[in-house]
A and B are shown apart, each in its own frame.
Chain A
Amino acid sequence: MRNILKGQVYYLRKDVVFKGICLFFLLSGIILPVWLGSKNGFQMDNPLEPLRKMMSLSLILYFIIPIQACFFITEGFENGSAANLIASGQRRSFYFLGKYISEMKVIGWFIFQFCGLYLIVYIAAALLTGASVGFSRIQEDAAAVFSILGYNLLYLAAYAAIIMMAGVLVKKTATAVVITFVTVFGDFLLGGYLKDSSSALLKGISDHTLMTQILKFSGMYLSNSQIVTLSGFHEHLRTILIPILIIGVCLTVAVICFEKRDLRV
């Protein structure tokens, strides 16, 4: 497994898709804080306040990272390296799980890059412009920021699990891309359109979609013109369990199917 992880790190360092997304986050991590901060003179109640306010922008991660995961899981089948590695003694389950663990590292890196760079540039701009930086409500903002970051990591992991399961089943990038779009936008639409449904079943589905939870913990979920956030232990527990369940089911299905099926190059 260690060797597969090393191999995937090497691949990602040379991967055009990965490098392109890094560049995108680099540029947005520089431009966005400058643009948004200049509107209020880079004033902040505490050093984490800019990060808390920009958490809604993290929604963009859910449109970029699943696509990257899709390309990442299917590249081995398209280029033939998966067959080479498996024929040379790598276990199929280790190959898939190695890919998934590597994708988790990628997700962590993108979140760190996007949010970390945003915060660093914002604070640097504040210091350069001499804007006031307070320390009020820093604990509250820290709790909010880190919980949202943690949830983002978990939910992106869930999306990655779905996409990578699909990728390992279809093994074709073109088909997997279509499935990715259907998954992401379908989840979005299900959460939005069924939200106000009179059917209890449909409303229940809407309440449990990934995007509904994402909007809730990001503070963007509107119900009856009011922002609804997570409150109470049970809501937080449900928010954690949904992606964990999805990850467990998808990884299990992917490994079982990948082990059993023939690998036709």
Chain B
Amino acid sequence: MQWNATVFEAKGLTKRYGPACALQEINMRIRPGEIYGCIGENGAGKTTLMRIIGGLVHPTSGEISLFGISDRSQLHAVRQQIGFLIDTPGLYPHLNAEQNLAFYCHNYGITDQRRIAGVLEQVSLSDTGNKKVSEYSLGMRQRLGLAIALLNQPQFLVLDEPINGLDPSGIIELRNILEHLAKENGVAILISSHFLNELQLLATTFGFMHKGRLIHEISARELLKTGGTRICVQTSDPAATAEILKRELQIAEISMTSAGDVYISKESTDMEKLMSVLLRHSISIQGIHLSTPNLENYYMDLIGGNS
């Protein structure tokens, strides 16, 4: 595949439900091997975008192309190269993992039975035996849903909040699986998640959606360059802390999150001066650490969440 080939492209993609606009003029491009993290609040349009890719929802205007094909009558054929995990996984509660996968194998025309064992091992569900899906935890259902998405050895994975319900080891395993697929097999991945810290470890490109619009895109490399290291101070009275630091250390820019964390640029002061000011004013310090440029702060700055 050419290095500049496009797996998915949206041009002016719009979706309206009556007067409400779920997507407005989305222009997006995803390339092979790219892990595109889609970030946005509930109702931002992430799931609608994924449903349009899957052909479950018809766009009001604009067009999409998958693997260079934009003709709607041919899109169903190229969708066979795509694996989806949107909303809740489509599982049969009265069947076990193998039987659920066997159902999809029949529908996809997969005759190699080893494929089932292979994907179950990939998502660490090999030892579920005859346990019915109705007895699965949420995390196990998510894993099985991912196994279904991987069954057809897709070239493009569309995952809507796949981390939901996974335990920490499951999250790490998922990250390893997706990184391996992207780096070794050149699989493109579109993933949405509210776990921004986790997404930052995984994605190579971030797209920020807000009220149906794609307001900004940035690569992981560019994200790291956007801001220097900052000192994060957690105290019992963040407002007073910010005021004291501004006055005593003449720091012009101090930001504070809604959680009460106070951020100061590392270039504006050093740790010793900072600590001495806080101790001198008897500020109770609950935590202090260095913070590298992170997705959460970038997102909050983008949508104006910081004061």
A83→B107 contact, CB < 8 A: no
A84→B106 contact, CB < 8 A: no
Among A214-265, those with CB < 8 Å from B are 260, 262-265
A10 and B87 contact, Cβ closer than 8 Å, known pairs A81-B92, A88-B108, A263-B56: no
Which residues of the partner chain A approach B91 to less than 8 Å between Cβ atoms? 79-81
A81 and B103 contact, Cβ closer than 8 Å, known pairs A87-B82, A88-B79, A89-B76: yes
Among A1-53, those with CB < 8 Å from B are 2-4, 6-7, 9-11, 14, 16
Which residues of the partner chain A approach B89 to less than 8 Å between Cβ atoms? 80, 84
A6 and B54 contact, Cβ closer than 8 Å, known pairs A14-B99, A80-B90, A89-B78: no
- Tell yes or no: A105 within 8 A of B by CB: no
B90→A4 contact, CB < 8 A: no
Which residues of the partner chain B approach A91 to less than 8 Å between Cβ atoms? 76
- Tell yes or no: B94 within 8 A of A by CB: yes
B54→A87 contact, CB < 8 A: yes
B103→A87 contact, CB < 8 A: no
Chain A nearest CB from B235 CB (Å) reads 45
Closest to A10 in B: B106
- Tell yes or no: B128 within 8 A of A by CB: no
- Tell yes or no: A82 within 8 A of B by CB: yes
Chain B nearest CB from A40 CB (Å) reads 44
Which residues of the partner chain B approach A80 to less than 8 Å between Cβ atoms? 87-91
Chain B nearest CB from A16 CB (Å) reads 6
A82→B58 contact, CB < 8 A: no
B104→A265 contact, CB < 8 A: no
Closest to A259 in B: B58
Chain A nearest CB from B99 CB (Å) reads 6
Mark interface residues in B102-119 (1 if CB within 8 Å of A CB, else 0): 111011110000000000
A79→B90 contact, CB < 8 A: yes
In whole angstroms, what is the CA distance A86 to B76 when docked? 8
Among A87-104, those with CB < 8 Å from B are 87-91
Which of the residues B80, B87, B93 comes within 8 Å of A88, measured between beta carbons?
A: B80
- Tell yes or no: A170 within 8 A of B by CB: no
A265→B92 contact, CB < 8 A: no
In whole angstroms, what is the CA distance A97 to B92 when docked? 21
Which of the residues B86, B99, B106, B109 comes within 8 Å of A87, measured between beta carbons?
A: B86
A4 and B54 contact, Cβ closer than 8 Å, known pairs A14-B94, A83-B90, A87-B86: no
B79→A81 contact, CB < 8 A: no
A88 and B56 contact, Cβ closer than 8 Å, known pairs A11-B103, A81-B90: no
Which residues of the partner chain A approach B103 to less than 8 Å between Cβ atoms? 7, 10-11, 14, 81
- Tell yes or no: B84 within 8 A of A by CB: yes
Which residues of the partner chain A approach B88 to less than 8 Å between Cβ atoms? 80, 265
Which residues of the partner chain A approach B82 to less than 8 Å between Cβ atoms? 87-89
B76→A262 contact, CB < 8 A: no
Which residues of the partner chain B approach A262 to less than 8 Å between Cβ atoms? 51, 56-58
- Tell yes or no: A153 within 8 A of B by CB: no
Chain A nearest CB from B209 CB (Å) reads 19
A3→B107 contact, CB < 8 A: yes
A87 and B107 contact, Cβ closer than 8 Å, known pairs A80-B89, A81-B92: no
- Tell yes or no: A178 within 8 A of B by CB: no
A85 and B107 contact, Cβ closer than 8 Å, known pairs A80-B87, A80-B90, A262-B57: yes
B107→A90 contact, CB < 8 A: yes
Which residues of the partner chain A approach B300 to less than 8 Å between Cβ atoms? none
In whole angstroms, what is the CA distance A237 to B54 when docked? 45
Measured CB to CB, the residues of A under 8 A from B are 2-4, 6-7, 9-11, 14, 16, 79-91, 260, 262-265
Can you list 15 A-B pairs, Cβ within 8 angstroms, ordered by A? A79-B93, A80-B89, A80-B91, A81-B90, A83-B54, A83-B87, A84-B148, A88-B79, A89-B78, A89-B79, A89-B80, A263-B57, A264-B56, A265-B56, A265-B86
